[in-house]
Amino acid sequence: MSDDFKRVESHDCPMSTCAAPAGSPCRTGKNKVAIQYHTARFRLVPQLTKVLSVPTPAVRKPGSLWTELPRPASAGAEPVGHVRLGYARASTARQSLDAQLDSLAEAGVTRVFSEKISTRATRRPELEAAVKLAGEIRSSGVHVTIVVHEHKRLGRGIELATLAEELKASDVGLEFLTGELKGSHDPSGIVFTVLAAMSGMEREYIRDRTLEGHESARKRGKTIGGAGVTDESMLSMALHLREQEMSLRDIAKRVVITTGKKKGQHPSPATVMRMLREHDEHTAVVSAP
């Protein structure tokens, strides 16, 4: 189950018709648990600002009578105590973790998560475990900081920025013992703000470069993905959503492929762009005098 709802529920709902306090799901006008969180609330979470909706998980019993749940210990309360969790990583099995572990020990960190795994790995189990434990400890009312020898051990670019967003949502701090970002960084501080902004900028950059690459390939007569998956029903839905001034990304999330091996999946934004462009070009030719 996704932890998105926990991040959303770390905030009070700003909707006057809901006003659910932190720790509780959103509610409807009939005082039922809403089936999804209000947009104004989940957009308070940086990594959820561009999604269309955040569903209420089954554990909150959507549709049932709404009752207020206990507020998180961290909500509106000063942290009591301070726990520092360490993380160390080497890119290959041959590399030693000794220098990082010694550095963490000298800094007084006693609980350390470590692993030997490539920077390119999509999952890092020990880092995920450290972040999960940090969130659980912080929710109990204790201030938590994840301590790392150097920021590069956490990842580069968008990986580090995405992690920073997640830690900020849980109100967990970061401390780097050396390197360009050496020092302790509070979740509300400038480093977290810059990393979050960098995350959004890099996502948009990757998206734009991908779409530009698809367009360049099309001009050369090449097809990049999505060939043969479009049909009239998809086109009709895409045109309807475009009239509502939705982005390509949001349209792609609403449209469903109805035939072929990818049946039931969503097309890529590039496929939607190509489908709409080809429709517009065809319409222009037909309507030309």
Query: Annotated catalytic, 91?
Result: yes
Cα separation of 121 and 49, whole Å?
A: 26
Cα separation of 210 and 220, whole Å?
A: 16
Of 64, 74, 91, 233, which residue is the catalytic one? 91
Structure token pair of residue 180: 């360009």
Q: Strands, E, within 25-179: which ranges?
A: 82-90, 111-116, 143-148, 173-176
Torsion, Cα of 151, 152, 155, 156 (10° steps): 100
Instruction: Write the DSSP symbol of residue 257.
Output: -
Cα separation of 184 and 181, whole Å?
A: 9
Q: Are 25 and 41 in contact (CB under 8 A)?
A: no
Which residues fall within 8 angstroms of residue 73, CB to CB, at 6 or more apart?
139, 140, 141
Cα separation of 182 and 173, whole Å?
A: 13
CA distances in angstroms from 213 to 222, 224, 270, listed in the order given: 11, 9, 10
Active-site amino acid positions:
91
